[in-house]
Amino acid sequence: MKNEYDFTHAVTGKFYKKNVEFHTTVYLEPELESYFIKIAKIKKQSLNEVINEILVKDIEIAKMVSIK
């Protein structure tokens, strides 16, 4: 790294995009990732679709349990 940087020609907000949605990146443990990749191949879906389906079902179960 340099001791000093020259920002005299810098442009404020050059990469700013209004109303941009950021998505959370999730890193799976290797064993989980390989397991879900196998399921995705069997179901002919993306890994993202398989994980989202599982999480939606998990939320449904959690809601049912919390109601009781």
- Residue 68: pLDDT band (50, 70, 90) is low
> CA dist 33 to 17, 27, 30, Å?
32, 9, 5
- Residue 9: pLDDT band (50, 70, 90) is very high
Q: pLDDT digit string (tens) for 25-61?
A: 999 999 999 999 999 999 999 999 999 999 999 999 9
Give the number of other CB atoms < 10 A from CB of residue 28. Answer: 13
Which amino acid would we find at residue 7?
F
Average pLDDT for residues 6-34, to the nearest whole number?
Answer: 92
Average pLDDT for residues 15-23, to the nearest whole number?
Answer: 89
Does 20 or 67 have the greater pLDDT score? 20
